Amino acid sequence: MRVVILGAGISGHTAALLLRRKLSKKHEVIVVSPNSLWNWIPSNIWVGVGNMKPADVTFDLPSVYKRARIEFHQAKAIEIYPEGLGDAAHPYVLVESTKESDRGQKTEIKYDYLINATGPRLNFGATPGLGPDGFTHSVCTVDHAYSTALELDKLIEEMKTGQKKTLVVGTGHGLCTCEGAAFEYIFNLEFELRQKGVRDNARLVFLTNEAELGDFGVGGLQLKSGGFVTPSKVFAESLFVEREVNWITGAHVHKIEKNRLEYETLDGERDTLDFDFAMLLPPFTGVPLKAFNKIGEDISNQLFNASGFMKVDADYTVKTYEQWAPEDWPKTYQTAYKNIFAIGIAFAPPHQISKPRKSKNGTMIAPAPPRTGMPSAIMGRIVANSIADMINGVSENPTHAASMTEIGAACVASAGANAIVGGAVSMTMYPIVPDFKTYPNVGRSLVHTTGEIGTAGHWIKKLLHYAFIYKAKALPFWWIIPE
Amino acid sequence: MSVTEAKSYPAPRPSKLTLFMRSFLPWQFVRFLVINLRMTVMIKKSHGRNIGPETPDNR
Ligand SMILES: Cc1cc2nc3c(=O)[nH]c(=O)nc-3n(C[C@H](O)[C@H](O)[C@H](O)COP(=O)(O)OP(=O)(O)OC[C@H]3O[C@@H](n4cnc5c(N)ncnc54)[C@H](O)[C@@H]3O)c2cc1C
């Protein structure tokens, strides 16, 4: 049997390594991914403030796969044929090489099982002027993060001569996700500016689509602290005030020009903000993949939702916020085709987690649900387990489940990279998608949903950086390190 | 809504003791152990479940 995995990010790489470990040598594991470098994306934040170099957060993927006996194609998948094409039907995926030597060459790769782990397409085009080709910076890829750091260096030099600058960090569209990454970036930025002695010359503004600080796209958290159950909004606002970071919440950015952006907030007001430096995240869509049936008809809308994410075993019925239920969320990540699965950011969530809102003018300002590293890797693990069982004849159906309403997440948001005076916010939340039936009023376990700030958080973040890169390199006993 | 100015916003501010403890290394070492423990519990609770072969739940 042959398992083909599209994407070598956190979820796909986890699935590939585990499948290779679980399946005997007569079965093939093939990975298709356009980049030959593996990137530990969470540490791009540190590259983006000049604290780490690209080489610290990446490594050469083909050599790891060679050692692990996984076949690697440096290519991007463009079309899926789940029923094959014509009479001699065997499912296959059409891929296009991204390798220098044969760039653009197309190959058909047959599969028995397919995992779509292609992550997000960074949709900078959603807001005019957004992104490295426009007027703002990004830390979503290591190359983006590195050029952001170079620009930041120049700005810091100017600030050293006494010039005052406005730096904006946040989300570049009302439908963005990953607000946690923007949160980390602004506090790392604030910390670095202090370390470099130019903090007094910087005005920092956090611009976010979250209706309130501390929402993180998961509707915020309720935390037990000092005899109270307190919303994460209070803790987040406290940190912003302490570090003198100003903010704009519930914002959708309409357009960006050189040094100026135009935005609208939930109350319907439109305003502009002048800036000297901006790091704004783009909204995500699925990567452009098409699907065809055996007579060549386009069946993409059966496999993917309107944003290009792959539909799995979720309940996609359109419902109001009040009707949302934990059961809506997928468990096994199997699609309508029994041998195709979608994991990580590539699967289509049934709806947001945070309450979606519209501005008074009808503009949607609704954080998309985050699918962070830990759940993405867990999905990789359970789908690898299910496929291994299906191949080994244990069952015809997936044997493992991990709904985001049943799993939690541990998140460490860096707020300054220094082992003595740095710090991070260490959070755990359980479950990721609130369950108000099991946990009335708060939606999550008050025992397992926690958060605190301190230097210890930085140590953990650094430890995770080394541990996950070690694991991803499949070095001895890598499987002992949990997802 | 225009920019909320942090300087004048009435959020709870950490006391001097809280700030000190956040980077007081012996205390942070204790917190390091506690946070690791919490995260280990979270990992244990979150590894998905084996739904076994052929249950009605597994499709
Ligand atoms: C700046 C930043 C900081 C973050 N920090 C944290 C953090 O601290 N903690 C945390 O838990 N999460 C964090 N995240 C989120 C985390 O990175 C994602 O949750 C995680 O990477 C999702 O994994 P994935 O496998 O779905 O996608 P990815 O890791 O993005 O992997 C997708 C893979 O698919 C490949 N691909 C793309 N198109 C194709 C194609 N057509 N064919 C084949 N392959 C393709 C890509 O090259 C890539 O290898 C952060 C994200 C960002 C952007």
Whether B28 and A394 lie within 8 Å, measured CB to CB:
no
Given this model, what pLDDT does residue B59 score? 44
Binning pLDDT at 50, 70 and 90, where does residue B54 land?
low
Report the length, in residues, of chain B. 59
Binning pLDDT at 50, 70 and 90, where does residue B51 land?
confident
Closest atom of ligand 1 to CA, residue A33: 44
Between CA A171 and CA A126 the distance in angstroms is: 12
- Residues of chain B with Cβ-Cβ distance to A385 below 8 Å are 48, 50
Half-sphere exposure of residue A404, counting CA atoms within 13 Å on the CB side? 30
- Predicted confidence pLDDT, tens digits, chain A (483 residues): 999 999 999 999 999 999 999 999 999 999 999 999 999 999 999 999 999 999 999 999 999 999 999 999 999 999 999 999 988 789 999 999 999 999 999 999 999 999 999 999 999 999 999 999 999 999 999 999 999 999 999 999 999 999 999 999 999 999 999 999 999 999 999 999 999 999 999 999 999 999 999 999 999 999 988 899 999 999 999 999 999 999 999 999 999 999 999 999 999 999 999 999 999 999 999 999 999 999 999 999 999 999 999 999 999 999 999 999 999 999 999 999 999 999 999 999 999 999 999 999 999 999 999 999 999 999 999 999 999 999 999 999 999 999 999 999 999 999 999 999 999 999 999 999 999 999 999 999 999 999 999 999 999 999 999 999 999 999 999 999 998
CA A259 / ligand 1 centre spacing (Å): 29
Interstrand relation of A106-110 and A113-116 (parallel, antiparallel or unpaired): unpaired
Between CA A400 and CA B49 the distance in angstroms is: 6
pLDDT tens digit string along B5-43? Answer: 999 999 999 999 999 999 999 999 999 999 999 999 998
Binning pLDDT at 50, 70 and 90, where does residue B1 land?
low
Q: Determine the number of helices (DSSP H) and then strands (DSSP E) in chain B.
A: 2, 1
Return the residue in B2, B31, B35, B45 with the most chain A beta carbons within 10 A, the one to mutate for interface testing: B35
Using CB distances shorter than 6 Å, the residues near ligand 1 are: A 6-12, 32-35, 41-42, 44-45, 76-77, 117-120, 139-140, 178, 181, 287, 344-346, 371-374, 376, 411
Chain B residue with minimum CA distance to A335: B59
**Any residues with CB less than 8 A from the CB of A153 and at least 6 apart, and which?**
A50
CA A10 / ligand 1 centre spacing (Å): 6
Say what the pTM is. 0.96
Please say if the pLDDT value at position B46 is more than 90: no
Closest atom of ligand 1 to CA, residue A10: 25
CA A178 / ligand 1 centre spacing (Å): 11
Which residue shows structure tokens 């080994």? Answer: A392
Given this model, what pLDDT does residue A87 score? 81
Q: How many CB pairs under 8 A join A and B?
A: 160
Between CA A424 and CA A414 the distance in angstroms is: 4
The token duo for A137 is 């910076």
Between helix A455-472 and helix B25-45 the angle, nearest 10°, is 50
ipTM of the complex: 0.91
Closest atom of ligand 1 to CA, residue A181: 3
| 3-state DSSP percent of chain A in helix, strand and coil, to 5 | 30, 25, 45
- Residues of chain A with Cβ-Cβ distance to B31 below 8 Å are 452, 454, 456
Given this model, what pLDDT does residue B2 score? 85
CATH H superfamily, domain A2-122+285-391: FAD/NAD(P)-binding domain (3.50.50.60)
* Most ligand 1 atoms within 8 A of CB, residue of A41, A78, A216, A371 to mutate: A41
Whether B41 and A246 lie within 8 Å, measured CB to CB:
no
Between helix A10-22 and helix A61-68 the angle, nearest 10°, is 20
Domain residue spans of chain A: 2-122+285-391
Between CA A199 and CA A408 the distance in angstroms is: 36
DSSP string, A242-280: HTT-EEE-SEEEEEEETTEEEEEETTS-EEEEE-SEEEE
Q: Determine the number of helices (DSSP H) and then strands (DSSP E) in chain A.
A: 10, 27
Whether B32 and A460 lie within 8 Å, measured CB to CB:
yes
Residue A233 CB coordination number (10 Å) = 18
**Any residues with CB less than 8 A from the CB of B7 and at least 6 apart, and which?**
A241, A244
Distance (Å) from the C-alpha of residue B33 to the closest C-alpha of chain A?
9
**Contact present, A215 and A256 (Cβ < 8 Å):** no
Whether B3 and A273 lie within 8 Å, measured CB to CB:
yes
**Contact present, A468 and A40 (Cβ < 8 Å):** yes
Bridge partners of A53, per DSSP, are: none
Chain B residue with minimum CA distance to A235: B12
Between CA A210 and CA A355 the distance in angstroms is: 10
Given this model, what pLDDT does residue A88 score? 72
Please say if the pLDDT value at position B58 is more than 70: no
Return the H-helix or E-strand segment holding A424.
strand A424-429
Residue A158 CB coordination number (10 Å) = 14
